[in-house]
Structure 1
Amino acid sequence: MYPDWPRSEADLVPLPRCDGPKLEPFDFKGPQQIQFLEYLGEGTHSQVLKVKILGQIYALKLFRFCWDEDWLGRGPDNEEDDLEANTAFYNYLEPFSSECRAFGRLREAGHEELAVKCFGYVLLDEEHERAMLSQFSNLELNGSCPGFDDMRLRFLGRDGRPPPIRGIVKEFGPAMENMRNLEMRRILRDMVGLQQLGIVYIDIADRQIIGGKISDFSTALTVPHYLLTPELNPHLTPEWISAMEYEAFRFSLHDFIDFNEMARIWNEEHPEQKTKISFRALPRGYGCDGYKFRRTPSREAVYSLVDPRLYDWKDSTVGEKPRSIKGQVGTKQSGSGKHPQGIFRSRRRLQAKPPRWHYDCSQKTAAVLKSDSFSTSIQWVYKDGHIFPQKKTSYV
């Protein structure tokens, strides 16, 4: 399930191994060499270190081996030790895979400016793991929290060894110290761009803003995804496709509700700031502008700013084009240790104001959609080679 220890550079393939975007390995230009400088902090899914590689300073995010039942929406009816099922969910839901897919999308679409710069993933070799743990004895990477079961031992590699610690190398920058309406507008613009690229559930908060950019995608869902892309499972019923549309809308809308909540919390926690943040993603309320498909008292339409499902992921193709062609973005291809300079991808065009996604529903459903609380309404199960929706909370 987890990436195994590489025996050669050829084993360092883009990850994860499922349909859709992938992240390439960091190019050390030779043997792995990392200088660990400083412990920066931790989150639910990871711990972050300041490091130096090839003379440059980076932030290295190291991922915990989390319990799979904590993965968003994975239902309890899945067999606990079913390697095939766990691998299927791992590729789409596990925090390391989620970040690989989101940053991979930004690379392939030519829009890395929408987030902090990502330089690839790392599988720590044993020498660097020992050095890191010797220097930072407080690191806990075996589970979702200290004292958790040793999840790293659950799915061993081909040689019977625990899998390597996984990391992602990112741009090093300062945390958010001052937040103004101008910065909020820029962050919202980036969020709208991310959703247009099929990246949703960003978990936006001021702690995730580094150097003025969104930095964390450990919960993100990226098209194609079994929730956002019904065609991945040809056996879905119309009822389930409708339920999945509702769920996808909730994820999209709640990113912008979280944006508004980030502004509210910042104002509360920074009373000394003379100019309060007044800018909001949804200025008339939680996705309600009075627009109605059916002019009856029982119906109401809410909206999100983007429909992330519209991203054409099948058109994310690679072509050989000369560097001099205007509008093309170069993409290095890793895995074999070679980086052909003639392989490029076209930069996707984004709209400053994409069409809103209106959702026609009952007043009861609208009240649920516009609430601050958020939890998944669908649980998922793996069977017969596909991921199926299994249970849902009533929303009508």
Structure 2
Amino acid sequence: MASSISRLAPLPKVPSRPAAPLPRVPGPKLAPFTPNARADIEFVEFLGRENDVDSQVWKVKVNGASFALKAFYFCHSETLRQNQGGDLTRPLANSQLYIDYFDPFNCECRAYGRLKERQRENLAVQAYGYLLLTPQQETELARKVTGDPSLLPYANAGTLDGDNFWKRYEEHRGLPVRAIVKELVSRKAPNPHDAQRMWVDLDNLHSLGIFVRDTHGGNYLGGKLVDFSRSWTMYHPALVQIGDSKLQLLMLEELQQLLDYYYDLSNSSSDEIDIPETLESYCSGEIAKYKNLPRAYNWLRWDENGEAVKAHVESELFEKPAL
């Protein structure tokens, strides 16, 4: 593999400069929530789970309106290469590309970007855009979580080895914490109608080239998906560089997670929750019959910049073979 670059491509940091949609590779992207991706944020209430490894989720107020804000920890590019990109038959050309395609923030941006492109934002809890936290905001949030009022901003600390609240390494030096502004929804359990939609929605997400990969019950609110931090959205190197048998196994794992959630709802709800027969059949030895595969999405036809994606894949995405 080519040697890792020591520093990742910088994100926009100047408040007066218009911010670009992210990630910065051809394909679906999420636009900033405000023109410069900055906002005055009031952190009201923690909404996440204590064991969340990718992010902090908070109820916030921005300009008096309430939202859910998902602020993402940093991920080291080498960790992403090993844990997420390890099954690629062709390595990506540089470390930044592992960030672009496998980092949880970018995974969510790409999935939500596709939903906006195809006007199917009804298939998940809505995302309104991304924000970049200021050093003061990221420090305020870290102090709220840890209860330590002495914490200082980490962005330019003397040592950045991942052993800090936002998990910054040297390659993240100076980069702002990234967050996605989402619809604020209640934590109620889905009613029978909402539950029925979960399998239909997931099938539709697959048809849009979005492989969610993480469909356990904790990623649903009121029957709607709220988390795409592990998703792969076509065009995605993993969806074309991982073998059929491995992808089929991953698909089975995703469908089984949703089926298990249906079982949990059926056992705990006072309402009658119908468990989709087709979902049960796929998880009971018939996964090979499932045809609505995300890798089949025709990105050249549907993506607004399909030709740019094709050129990127052919010339820039993968490591060149040694001569």
| Residue pair 2:39, 2:131 contacting (<8 A) in 1 also | no
Of 266, 276, 284, which aligns to 2:281?
284
Partner-residue secondary structure (3-state), 1:174: coil
Q: How does 1:215-234 map to 2 (within 5 A)?
A: 215-229=226-240
The answer on 1:310 being equivalent to 2:296 is yes
TM-score (structure 2 length as normaliser): 0.76
Report the CA distance shift for 1:110/1:385 in structure 2 as closer, same or farther (over 3 A): closer
- Name which one, 1 or 2, has greater alpha-carbon Rg: 1
Rounded to whole Å, the distance in 2 between the matches of 1:123 and 1:135 is 18
C-alpha change, 1:204 and 1:387, in structure 2 (3 Å) is farther
Q: Distance in 2 between matches of 1:30 and 1:48?
A: 18
Change (3 A) 1:61 1:303: same
1:118-129 to structure 2, matched below 5 A, reads 118-129=127-138
2:21 is matched with which residue: 11, 14, 23?
Answer: 14
Which structure features the higher share of helix residues? 2
2:170 paired with 1:154: yes
Residue type at the aligned position of 1:126: P
Kept after mapping to 1: 8 A contact 2:85/2:238: no
Percent identity of the aligned residues? 29
Number of residues of Structure 1 aligned to a counterpart in Structure 2: 285
Shift of 1:4: 2.9
What are the within-5 Å matches in structure 2 for residues 205-354 of structure 1?
A: 205-229=216-240, 244-268=243-267, 270=268, 273=270, 275=272, 277-284=274-281, 286=283, 288=285, 302-316=288-302, 318=304
Q: What is the distance in 1 between the residues matched to 2:77 and 2:178?
A: 16
Deviations 1:311-359 (A, max 9, x none): 122234559xxxxxxxxxxxxxxxxxxxxxxxxxxxxxxxxxxxxxxxx
Counterpart for residue 194 of structure 1: 205
Kindly provide the CA deviation profile for residues 55-78 of structure 1, in whole angstroms up to 9, marking residues without a partner as x: 21100001111344553433399x
Q: Once the two structures are superposed, what CA deviation does each residue of 1:214-266 show, in whole Å capped at 9, x if it has no partner?
A: 11000001100112235xxxxxxxxxxxx623333333343222221212233
Match of 1:37, SS? strand
Choose from 195, 202, 224 the match for 1:184.
195
Does the 8 A contact of 1:26 with 1:122 survive in 2? Answer: yes
The answer for unaligned runs of 5 or more in structure 2 is: 1-7, 155-160, 306-315
TM-score by length of 1: 0.63
User: CA RMSD of the aligned region, Å?
Assistant: 3.4
Residue 148 (structure 1) shift: 5.7
AA aligned opposite 1:54:
N
Q: Which residue of 2 aligns with 1:329?
A: none
Specify the SS of the correspondent of 1:41: coil
Label 1:222 to 1:178 Cα distance change in 2 as closer, same or farther (>3 A).
Answer: closer
Give yes or no for contact 1:227–1:248 (8 Å, CA) kept in 2.
no
Cα pair 2:37 2:131 within 8 Å, conserved = no
User: For the structure 1 residues 112 and 216, does the alpha-carbon distance in structure 2 shift closer, same or farther, using more than 3 Å as the test?
Assistant: same
